[in-house]
Amino acid sequence: MFKQPIAGILATLLIIALSLGFISLFSFEWFTGWVSYSLMCAIPISIMIGVIWGRNSPEFITRSAQPAKGLYLIGITLLGGVIAGCIMFYTIGGGLQPLAPMLVHFTITVIGTMFWLTIIMGGWPIVPRIKHPVIAGLAIVLLTYIISLALFYLFYNYAFLIGTPVYVASLDPNGLFNGWNVTVFYVSFISIMFVILHFDLWPLVKFPALMKQPVLGIAFTLLALCLTSLLYYLGVILFKINVVSFMVLLPIPFVFGSVIVLNMLQDSLFPNVRQPVKGLLKVSLALVTGIILANLFIAFSGLTTKELGSGPPTFEREIWLSSALLSITFPFLIFLADYFQFGGLLKKNNSQKP
């Protein structure tokens, strides 16, 4: 057994190896299709379980020891993912195969909305009103899908796919903006959320009047939207980087690196450094870690699937990397660190943050 950050580093390397081995079992089409989609459907449930349930609900899970506790949590996560996935497939996706882009983008929207509701809004308005954690968690899941539907039909538009085999007019929500642009903006928003978390909510914490929901959530959201708009403007508009390429160049590696710094290493680095210097160090480390690991995955992609093309119109490498990092490796990391409490790698006297 090891202390942090050694335990987190070893656990991360183990999961990366397992993830690459798992990915190698499938063809590109299956991996970026059903395999990636199925695990993405489970991610919102895993976020709810970690943040709202604290991995201790329902009651029988609290009484369970490892590894039974971890297996129960995985079972609930996968069951929730299967139910949500089937409903979305036959509604948003129209029951069509291969999976429609609208379905994949909506699934990403649900993940982003769950992050927003649980972390940025702190579960408001559900948590203050419903004290039972199981009911509160299920209510947040329902609210997440309601908000995601509203965002999807308001903002997403797929007219740019007209004339291609994947365009289905009945599945197009005919929203305000290009569907890919909105998806990349939302992923960028989540990456900025992690930036603010690295800074421990600085500078918001300097204003006590803000540190209570829903005021905190509103201030957090507005700050994140402003920073996301700046990031998107610089990358996509000013430097004219293709939106899909931009997503896998910066936001996705940064989110992945942030999960490692905050969850796998349990925010154990730089304990004696004050904000905002601590935030700058953590953001830099998360970015460098994410970029290095993203390139590591790309280097191994030839061993796990066919030779991948990059850029438009297919974006094979970009889609494969996004799926590998956030659809597969991310939930595997959470399963080991949160559900199984590092599987014996971490010393018991080393406390784990919720």
Answer yes or no: is 78 within a domain.
yes
Q: Is residue 353 part of a domain?
A: no
Tell me, what's the pLDDT at 349?
Answer: 58
258 lies in which domain range? 6-344
- Report if residue 116 sits inside a domain: yes
Measured CA angle at 308 (ends 306, 310), to 5 deg: 175
Domain presence at residue 81: yes
Q: Please report the pLDDT score of residue 117 as a whole number.
A: 98
Series of mean pLDDT values for 10-residue runs along the chain (354 residues): 93 96 93 96 97 90 92 97 98 96 98 98 96 95 98 98 94 97 98 98 96 97 98 97 96 98 94 96 98 94 77 88 96 96 79 41
Q: Per the domain annotation, does 169 fall within a domain?
A: yes
Q: Which position has the token pair 């990456």?
A: 191
- Model's pTM, two decimal places? 0.95
Q: Domain count of the chain?
A: 1
In a domain, 206, yes or no: yes
Q: Is residue 228 part of a domain?
A: yes
**Per-residue pLDDT at 350:** 43
Residue 351 lies in a domain: no
